[in-house]
Structure 1
Amino acid sequence: MSSDQPLIRHPLTYLRERRGWTLSDVAELVRRRSVLNMATHRQKIYRWEHHQVVPELAAQLAIATEVGVDAQTVLNLGWPSWLLTVDGTEPLDQAWTPETAKQIMVGCVGADTDRRSFLLLSGDETVELAGTWAAVPTEKIIDASGGGTVDAEVATWVENRIHQLWHLDDLVGGDYCLHLAQADLQLIARLLQDGRYRSAVKRRLYGAAGELLRFAGWCAFDGDRHAAAARYWHAGLRTSAAGGDTLTGAYILSLMAMQHTYAGDGRAAINLLHAARERIGPGAPRTVHAMLDAWQVRAHAVAGESRQAVEVLFRADDHWGRRDPDEDPPWIYWMRQPSHTIEIGAGFVRLGRPDIAMHFLEDGMTGRGIDYTRDTVLGLTAIADAQLDQDDLDGALDTARRAVELVTDVDSSRVADQLNAFAQRLPAGEAQAEEFRTYLDTLPHR
């Protein structure tokens, strides 16, 4: 069983959906704008999207001409990366400097955030971005110049504001909080562009920008705006690096890993988590290592690697048992014992071990307060999935109804997706199941 939601995995697929093109439409425009005979080659376009086949340069240039991308961009970026520039996405190979970080941040402040169900970067591209981030020495990307009208008090206000957003997101979900994060991003972008500040304040502003971009990406991910999430996280990696904040950069990579896990690409997720772990090193807070390992468990589950999932879970709980909370970064306040997290439970459901999943999930639900409504709904939905896998239809529906009682208080498309996925698994023809599906369809936010 899998409740992971399908995402568009190729930029050409996304471009076709945006333009309303069929596979045959693409074949026809290539035939019309090139010397290639594509009129009957619908399957050829399919192979470009699904089998990593690279089109002839003439075919690429024909598509590029149709969408207004110049030939030099096609040659410089290659297939399929140049397709990303159709929507203004920044190339991944720009220099790691504060100025580039600022430009990319400003570029994504007004970006289209309604790109639902599109995974902007492939697994290989995301891992490549992680590798370049990990290879840049911190001291080379911190610009020590600056003047001084944005003072430490302003920097503190920005940092405190971000902390407030964290807790609001726990309560009401990412869809609502994304709009607040966008407004704050406009403010901090303006401070970085137009303000004058000393080097210490500048570093704090870049660090705050990295965390705010991380948060905006999380909100977009929670709202199924996957392409927007990737853009925010790309900018967040650069700005957190400019601020010398390696831990926030590692957190961003872990969220990118979660995105690929949800998209069904466990191997890319594992590679991203390895990159984060290697960059922060063994001396980083053990709670952070526990988080990275916890999320890697589900990635192994998606990859079908049960032995590795169990091994990493033991390592995660060991890190947790030896942690020093005084060393923790403030953003990891939500972390609990790894075996009690929803990601672990969902991973064991994926591995076909609903009994183990139930044990972990029920223990994890103990003590989860009303300040974590979204997590409560996600946990209940995962338990319902496990009960369904144990052929306990009555129990699964009872648990799912408890989740539905809370779901209208949470503005999170991810939560709705998980409940919908559960409803789709219910047996056809069962009166209780049909009643539940009908009720779910009537909820106002759906």
Structure 2
Amino acid sequence: MINEKRQRFGLYLAGLRRDARKSQRQLAELLCHISGTASLTRHEISRWERGERIPDVWISSLSEALDVPLQTLERAAAHARGEDFPPEAPSPAEALSYFLPEDVELGPLASSTGRRVGTSTAVALADRAHGLRLGDDVIASRDLLAPAFRELDGAVQLYRETTHSEQTGRSLLGSIGEIAQITGWIASDAGQHDQAARAYRLGISAAREAGDLALVGHLAGSLAYQLTNTGHEEDGLSLARAALEEAGPDAPPKARALYLDRVAWANTKAGNAQPAMRALAQAHEAMDEEGSREAPDWAYWVSPEELNVMDARVYTELHKPLRAVPLLQEVLSRYDSTRTRELALYLSWLAVALVDANEPEEAASTARRMLDLSARFPSDRTAKRGRVVLTKLEPYRDVPEVREVLDTYAA
């Protein structure tokens, strides 16, 4: 049985590798180059990320390959081995510390009100924003919610209670916007939609003041996505369109692809099939322009595979399973298994599409896998999708495989 601390460390390494935009094979090749040996394969990387082994002798090379401070990796590895930590499993706050650098204090600043901050503080705050994004990949939203709001409050306090140059101020405001976006996303995933909306609106205000129109579009689109998925389809569609317009035609291609995906989804939920399909096509056109302009850090996860998933979701919602099923199966065949929540969500769409394709046995098998993953990584989104899947399976109760799933997961 894999030790839970090692498993957490493995998830952490997987997040760092994804952030560096490297496959397991590419990371293995880079580590061999750095260390001057050819003895490492992607299978060993996979063992590390599953928590089966701790890469003790490779820590220094990993630090260089992933551009992570050596001390940070050594501390995380020590945690995984159980050294200098309490014997019980790490708390969410301890797990979060893997992702948030400790070189800047964002606590109360009453004793130093008016102190001047510069580029190093702005960079440190940006690191904390990215740390939250990495944490969201592997920590359940209900555990991450309170720490995320503390980060947001601390960032706002830092900006308000210090002095800084105009350029540093814009950078701080941009980081506030990014922290607000991921905090809103975490709150929404925890089912705290009012808190999420407040975070998104704060972020929009900060991003506008920073002059970062691409980030404004990301925040507005995130709120639009929440509205679309919580019964406010027309409001969601209006805001998704506004987000695209606010960002403007000069937004980075990858960001435009994300905005267009949200427009497509909002149109789908509002029952507008043709506009949804047009927006999907435009999203792919935008992604094809990738490389013409550097994407912002917050768009690191947007990829052709993610666009394919959105295509499949739209096809599923429009009851076009023959188009949805192959897309989802192809993406899921190589999807990163450490991203538990996203994997569960994508499996839920595949299960629904398989029902529509009159494949109840395969749908039941997919549903079982999805529901097992959801139990391991609690999320309001996966819980709702689980109920949708079970409801979709109910008319096929007479099929033994379906009946077993319904009886097992009815609660």
Give the partner amino acid of 1:236. Answer: G
How far did residue 292 of structure 1 move?
Answer: 1.3
1:437 is aligned to 2:406: yes
The alignment covers a number of residue pairs equal to: 297
Preserved CA contact (<8 Å) 2:137 2:339: yes
Name the CA shift for 1:173/1:335 in 2 (closer, same or farther; >3 Å).
Answer: farther
Root-mean-square deviation (Å): 2.2
Give the partner amino acid of 1:437. Answer: L
Task: Give me the whole-angstrom Cα distance separating, in 2, the residues matched to 1:339 and 1:371.
Answer: 16
Name the CA shift for 1:415/1:235 in 2 (closer, same or farther; >3 Å).
Answer: same
Selected match of 2:162 from 177, 192, 195: 195
Task: Give me the whole-angstrom Cα distance separating, in 2, the residues matched to 1:269 and 1:186.
Answer: 27
Task: Give me the whole-angstrom Cα distance separating, in 1, the residues matched to 2:155 and 2:331.
Answer: 37
Task: Give me the whole-angstrom Cα distance separating, in 2, the residues matched to 1:344 and 1:371.
Answer: 23
1:72-129 Cα distance to aligned partner (Å, 9 max, x none): xxxxxxxxxxxxxxxxxxxxxxxxxxxxxxxxxxxxxxxxxxxxxxxxxxxxxxxxxx
Task: Give me the whole-angstrom Cα distance separating, in 1, the residues matched to 2:332 and 2:303.
Answer: 11
What does residue 162 of structure 1 align with?
129
Indicate the structure whose relative CO is greater, using CA pairs within 8 Å and at least 6 residues apart.
Answer: 1
1:18-72 Cα distance to aligned partner (Å, 9 max, x none): xxxxxxxxxxxxxxxxxxxxxxxxxxxxxxxxxxxxxxxxxxxxxxxxxxxxxxx
TM-score with structure 1 setting the length: 0.62
Name the CA shift for 1:325/1:223 in 2 (closer, same or farther; >3 Å).
Answer: farther
Give the partner amino acid of 2:166. Answer: S
How far did residue 195 of structure 1 move?
Answer: 2.1
Preserved CA contact (<8 Å) 1:181 1:216: yes
How far did residue 212 of structure 1 move?
Answer: 0.8
What does residue 303 of structure 1 align with?
270
Task: Give me the whole-angstrom Cα distance separating, in 2, the residues matched to 1:278 and 1:225.
Answer: 27
Preserved CA contact (<8 Å) 1:218 1:255: yes
5 Å matches for 1:84-233?
149-233=116-200
Give ranges in structure 2 of 5+ residues lacking alignment. 1-112
Task: Give me the whole-angstrom Cα distance separating, in 2, the residues matched to 1:415 and 1:188.
Answer: 30
How far did residue 338 of structure 1 move?
Answer: 6.7
Give the partner amino acid of 2:320. Answer: R
Preserved CA contact (<8 Å) 1:348 1:356: yes
Deviating beyond 6 angstroms after TM superposition, the runs of 4 or more aligned structure 1 residues are none
1:183-233 Cα distance to aligned partner (Å, 9 max, x none): 212321321232232322222221111111111111111111111111111
Task: Give me the whole-angstrom Cα distance separating, in 1, the residues matched to 2:146 and 2:284.
Answer: 36
1:415 is aligned to 2:382: yes
SS in 2 for 1:411: coil
Preserved CA contact (<8 Å) 2:200 2:223: yes
Task: Give me the whole-angstrom Cα distance separating, in 2, the residues matched to 1:433 and 1:325.
Answer: 48
Preserved CA contact (<8 Å) 1:258 1:269: yes
What does residue 323 of structure 2 align with?
356
5 Å matches for 1:245-394?
245-324=212-291, 327-337=294-304, 340-394=307-361
SS in 2 for 1:319: helix
What does residue 400 of structure 1 align with?
367
Give the partner amino acid of 2:168. Answer: V
User: Percent identity at matched positions?
Assistant: 25
Preserved CA contact (<8 Å) 2:237 2:270: no
1:234 is aligned to 2:213: no
Preserved CA contact (<8 Å) 1:317 1:339: no
Give the partner amino acid of 2:332. Answer: M
Preserved CA contact (<8 Å) 1:342 1:379: yes
Give ranges in structure 1 of 5+ residues lacking alignment. 1-145
Preserved CA contact (<8 Å) 2:234 2:270: yes
What does residue 45 of structure 1 align with?
none
Name the CA shift for 1:283/1:340 in 2 (closer, same or farther; >3 Å).
Answer: closer
Task: Give me the whole-angstrom Cα distance separating, in 1, the residues matched to 2:250 and 2:305.
Answer: 19
1:279-331 Cα distance to aligned partner (Å, 9 max, x none): 22212111111111122222221122222222221111111112217510110
How far did residue 341 of structure 1 move?
Answer: 4.0
How far did residue 398 of structure 1 move?
Answer: 0.5
TM-score with structure 2 setting the length: 0.67
5 Å matches for 1:33-44?
none
Task: Give me the whole-angstrom Cα distance separating, in 2, the residues matched to 1:246 and 1:198.
Answer: 21
Name the CA shift for 1:377/1:352 in 2 (closer, same or farther; >3 Å).
Answer: same
